[in-house]
Copies of this chain bind each other. A is one copy, B any other.
Amino acid sequence: MGLPNHFDLVATDGEARTGKLTTPHGVVRTPAFMPVGTAGAMKGLHWREVRDAGADIVLGNTYHLMLRPGAERIAALGGLQAFTGWNGPMLTDSGGFQVMSLAQLRKVSESAVTFRSHIDGLSFELSPERAIELQRLLGSDIAMQLDECVRLPAERGDIERAMQLSLRWAERGKRAFETAPAGYMLFGIAQGGDVPKLRRASALGLAGIGFHGYAIGGLAVGEPQSVMLAMIEEVAPILPRDRPRYLMGVGTPEDMLEAVARGIDMFDCVMPTRNGRHGMAFTRFGQINLRNARHADDPRPLDEESLWPSTQRCSRAYLHHLVRSGETLGAMLLSEINIAYYQRLMADIRDAISQRALASFRERTRADWEKGDIPPR
């Protein structure tokens, strides 16, 4: 209880909020989208491009980093910021989610999860305490508690068991974090699947333990958007109003716009880079598939009104050619274009909230997306 608060609410508009989160490596403007630099690298982007696109903070995956190159090695090399050269705020997950999705022979017990590495089959044990230790070694500005995330749909009994276990692990994580230096933060994670009552119990439990910030986990795992939004509506009002709220693993631009309107401050997702590698561009006009033959002879850029140089200048014909030819530059350009779009959307959202104009911004933005791409030439 009573952890110091590093979050300043600057303005609100309905449930939506804009603020500043101060970390040891710099200030994060919220609502914030955190690009995912899985194993200490953003796929297809230089760190300078991530920065130029407007990202204040990025996410690293503890599971990947603990296996390779190893958290102790990164610590000896000065931490993730020095190691990667991204010298800004970093949030790391606990490793738990990827243990569930990538590791082999995993086994969850009260004390810890044991698993074998998907790279070389070596055995590891990840406890709530070790998850904190790993993230301290990495030097994360924001660490996440170890939790157990259940894929939906799932039996209510399984959801409840995992949620209760996650709450007990939250307490253990908080104790393990007590020795962390001032300024570093630990977030608790609300679980509870698609069951409103369990979601509320989880949020209440976490608020009782007390964290620097609060995440909503276990969403965007296969459920309809309406369920995700309903769960946010259950949880957000229970979480302490003065602390940042992070919706994990979300999402599409539309998901984020809707979640912001329900009080969420932070997001992360691999979608902009992953879809970029598959020839998809996120733009003001929605998602555009550059692989489509309609672009082959089209000299127009994706969006000539964009402020991002590649979006505003590269022709659709060129992007189409790069994607069809499997040229790395195609993935590089589209990943960069997508990260820049996500960051632009967040900046616009922050402005709209400051001006208490989120409702009209949301309407206008959704209308643009729904209109779809400009007609073929």
B-binding residues in A (CB < 8 A): 39-46, 68-69, 73, 76-78, 83-85, 296-297, 299, 313-315, 317-318, 320-322, 324-325, 327-333
Let me know if A328 and B327 touch, CB within 8 A. Answer: no
Chain B hits for A327, CB < 8 A: 39-41, 43
Expressed in whole angstroms, the Cα–Cα distance for A332 and B44 within the complex equals: 8
CB <8 Å contact, A314 and B43:
no
Contact B317 A83 (CB under 8 A): yes
Q: Which of chain B's residues has its CB closest to A37's CB?
A: B329
B78 touching A299, Cβ below 8 Å: yes
Q: 28 A-B residue contacts at CB 8 Å?
A: A39-B321, A39-B325, A40-B321, A40-B322, A40-B325, A40-B327, A41-B322, A41-B327, A43-B327, A44-B328, A44-B329, A44-B332, A68-B321, A68-B324, A69-B320, A73-B296, A73-B297, A76-B297, A77-B297, A77-B315, A77-B317, A78-B299, A83-B321, A84-B318, A85-B313, A85-B314, A328-B331, A332-B332
Further pairs besides A68-B321, A328-B332: 20, Cβ < 8 Å:
A39-B327, A40-B321, A40-B322, A40-B327, A41-B328, A43-B328, A43-B329, A44-B329, A46-B329, A46-B332, A69-B317, A69-B320, A69-B321, A73-B296, A73-B297, A76-B297, A77-B317, A78-B299, A84-B318, A328-B331
* Nearest CB of chain B from residue A172's CB, rounded to whole Å: 30
With A73-B296, A330-B41 known as contacts, the answer to whether A83 contacts B318 (CB < 8 A) is: yes
Give the CA-CA distance A211 to B322 in the complex, in Å. Answer: 34
For the complex, give the distance between the alpha carbons of A40 and B69 in Å. 35
Residues of chain B contacted by A329 (CB below 8 angstroms): 41-46
Cα–Cα, bound, A39→B326 (Å): 10
**CB proximity of A38 to chain B, nearest CB, Å:** 8
Q: Which residues of B have CB within 8 Å of A328?
A: 41, 43-44, 328, 331-332
How many identical chains are in the complex?
2
Q: Which residues of chain B are near A46, meaning CB under 8 Å?
A: 329, 332-333
**A57 CB → nearest B CB, Å:** 18
A296 to B299, CA, bound (A): 46
Name the residue of chain B whose CB is nearest to the CB of A76.
B297
Q: With contacts A296-B73, A299-B77 known, is A318 near B85, CB below 8 A? A: yes
Question: In the bound complex, what is the Cα–Cα distance between A43 and B329 (angstroms)?
Answer: 6
Docked CA distance A352–B139 (Å): 47
A-B pairs with lowest CB-CB distance, top 4: A41-B329, A41-B327, A69-B321, A39-B325
Point out the residues of chain B lying under 8 angstroms from A43, CB to CB.
327-329
Q: How far in angstroms is the closest Cβ of chain B from A62?
A: 15
Given A297-B73, A330-B41 in contact, is the A68-B325 Cβ separation under 8 Å? yes
